[in-house]
Each structure stands twice: as structure tokens, then as C-alpha cells.
């Protein structure tokens, strides 16, 4: 019974996650950036822009400039997230890639830093009055969701010894349409429910900052508005526009 429920839940979550995110990205893709507005100083070559984007995404350059505390917690949270995700790939492929095998211990202990980072961000949101002011209930819930995912995951790894062979069989079964029974311990069910919620809300929430950052015109544009002609798509070309008449000239009609 639970197997059927979670199978359907994950099919739905997957479709919503992929479809919804693709829809959002499509929206950003097709919307023009009509003027060349990188925040300067900005790179004047494509390579420079790639490097700037890399520094932003991998090293959180702007956060470092802004505030060291937020940089530490955000870095901890996100770095751990990537290690955890890479480690989790083992549940979805067979045989498992070497990289993923190597990632196992890193991904497991990263779980602690993931939760620690999340708690740090939560504390900041509650205790710093400026951040508190701008926080909606969803901002707190989002953090609680991540912390919940982390804690339930850590519990499964280090405390309650979930039947991970059964978990892998379940997910491989979903992917091959040959459903296998889902192990039923509470921690696993909690963990999977929270992750499904994450997938479902992703396209409708601020989580789209993940693909979104790459579209930011203040970071991804080359600073060459003088050198390269970059017309505004919805304005007619200059040849079709009338100038204002010289001052003192009689108005037409």
C-alpha cells in the first residue's frame, strides 16, 4: 500500500520537478535582456564572464564580499548538499560509478555539515532583526524541510540501519516500471516524503535560484555595450524612428 502511494508520489514529484523547472527556465531563456547591464567592474570577454560566474557559483564571491557569517553557513550548506547528492546517485544506477563509490564517506559525513549549515541559517533568520523582517513563513519552513531531510538521513545512516538494498530496489523498480516493495521504517518514509515535497515545490519557489543564477544579466553579460551593437528587440531600428524636431520648428498638423 505504502509502496503504491510512494511510487505515485515520486512519479508525480519527478514530472512536476522536471516539467516545472523546464518551464521556468524556458521563461527566463525567451525573455530578452534588452540592454547590456552587468554590474561593473565586469569582464570584457566571454572567458572572463565564465570565470566570474564560476567564482559566484562555486565560491560565492558576492556573499564573501557581503558578510563572512552568511558566507560560512551558505558554503557549508551548499557544499555538503553537492557531496550528499553525488553520494545518493548510488541508489539510482547499477553498477555504481567509481566517483560515486569514492563519494560515499564524504557524502555521509557531509550530512552533519548540511544540518549544521541549515541550523546556522535558521538561527540567523530568527535572531538577526533585519533578516527576520524579510522572512515569510515559507522561508522558515524551507529551512526546516532541509534540516528534516538531513536529520532523517543522518539517523538512517548512523542509528537505525535502514534496509538500503530495499530502497535501491524500490527506486530502480520505479525507473524500470517493475515496482519493488518499499521498506517501511518511519525515518525512511519521513525522508522520502520531505524530498518529494522539495521536488514538488522547487519550480514554484525561490529554489529556482539554482538554475536562475546563470541567467542573471548583472553577472552573465560581457561589458562591451560600446564595442558590440546590442539592439532592444521590441524597439524598431533607428532608421524607422523620427527625431524630435529642432526647437522653434512649427509642429506638424
How many residues sit close enough to another protein to count as binding (CB under 8 A)? 69
Binding segment toward another protein, per CB under 8 A, in 57-65, 99-107, 109-117, 173-181: 57-65
Site string for another protein, 72-101 (x = CB under 8 A): --x---------------------------
Query: Is the Cβ of residue 60 or residue 170 nearer to another protein in the bound state?
Result: 60
Applying CB under 8 A, does 172 fall inside the site for another protein?
Answer: no
Q: Does 9 bind another protein (CB under 8 A)?
A: no
Residue range at the interface with another protein (CB under 8 A); choices 89-97, 127-135, 167-175, 186-194: 127-135
Q: Are 66 and 245 in contact (CB under 8 A)?
A: no
* Own/partner pairs, 9-15, CB within 8 angstroms, 24+ separation: 9/193, 9/196, 10/171, 10/174, 10/192, 10/196, 11/174, 12/200, 13/196, 13/199, 13/200, 14/199
Closest to 224 in 3D by CA, of 52, 44, 48, 51: 44
Site for another protein in 179-238 (CB under 8 A): 201, 204-206, 208-209, 212-213, 215-219, 223, 225-227, 229-232, 234-235, 238
21 counts as binding another protein under rule CB under 8 A? no
Does the protein bind another protein through residue 244 (CB under 8 A)? yes
Q: Is 32 in the site for another protein (CB under 8 A)?
A: yes
The residue from 47, 98, 127, 137 that contacts another protein (CB under 8 A) is: 137
> Considering the complex, what minimum distance in angstroms separates the CB of residue 188 from another protein?
27
Nearest residue (CB) to another protein, 36 versus 189: 36
Residues of this chain that bind another protein (CB under 8 A): 24, 27-28, 31-37, 39-44, 48, 56, 60, 62-63, 65-67, 70, 74, 124-125, 128-131, 133-139, 141, 201, 204-206, 208-209, 212-213, 215-219, 223, 225-227, 229-232, 234-235, 238, 241, 243-244, 246-247
Amino acid at each position: 500500500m505504502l509502496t503504491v502511494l510512494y511510487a505515485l508520489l515520486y512519479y508525480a514529484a519527478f514530472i512536476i520537478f522536471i516539467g516545472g523547472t523546464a518551464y521556468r527556465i524556458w521563461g527566463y531563456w525567451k525573455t530578452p535582456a534588452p540592454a547590456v547591464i552587468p554590474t561593473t567592474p565586469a569582464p570584457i570577454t566571454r572567458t572572463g564572464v565564465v570565470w566570474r560566474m564560476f567564482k559566484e557559483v562555486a565560491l560565492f564571491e558576492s556573499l564573501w564580499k557581503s558578510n563572512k557569517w552568511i558566507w560560512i553557513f551558505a558554503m557549508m550548506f551548499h557544499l555538503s548538499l553537492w557531496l550528499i547528492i553525488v553520494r545518493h546517485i548510488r541508489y539510482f544506477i547499477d553498477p555504481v560509478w567509481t566517483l560515486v563509490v569514492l563519494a560515499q564517506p564524504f557524502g555521509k559525513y557531509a550530512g552533519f555539515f548540511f544540518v549544521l549549515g541549515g541550523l546556522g541559517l535558521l538561527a540567523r533568520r530568527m535572531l538577526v532583526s533585519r533578516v527576520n523582517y524579510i522572512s515569510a513563513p515559507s522561508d522558515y519552513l524551507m529551512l526546516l524541510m532541509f534540516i528534516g531531510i538531513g536529520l532523517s538521513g543522518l539517523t538512517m545512516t548512523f542509528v537505525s540501519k535502514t534496509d538500503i538494498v530495499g530502497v535501491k530496489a524500490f527506486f530502480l523498480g520505479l525507473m524500470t516500471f517493475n515496482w519493488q516493495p518499499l521498506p517501511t521504517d518511519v525515518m525512511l518514509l519521513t525522508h522520502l516524503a520531505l524530498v518529494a515535497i522539495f521536488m514538488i515545490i522547487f519550480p514554484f519557489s525561490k529554489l529556482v535560484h539554482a538554475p536562475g543564477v546563470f541567467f542573471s544579466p548583472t553577472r552573465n553579460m560581457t561589458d562591451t555595450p560600446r564595442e558590440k551593437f546590442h539592439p532592444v528587440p521590441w524597439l524598431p531600428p533607428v532608421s524607422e524612428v523620427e527625431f524630435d524636431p529642432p526647437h522653434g520648428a512649427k509642429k506638424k498638423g
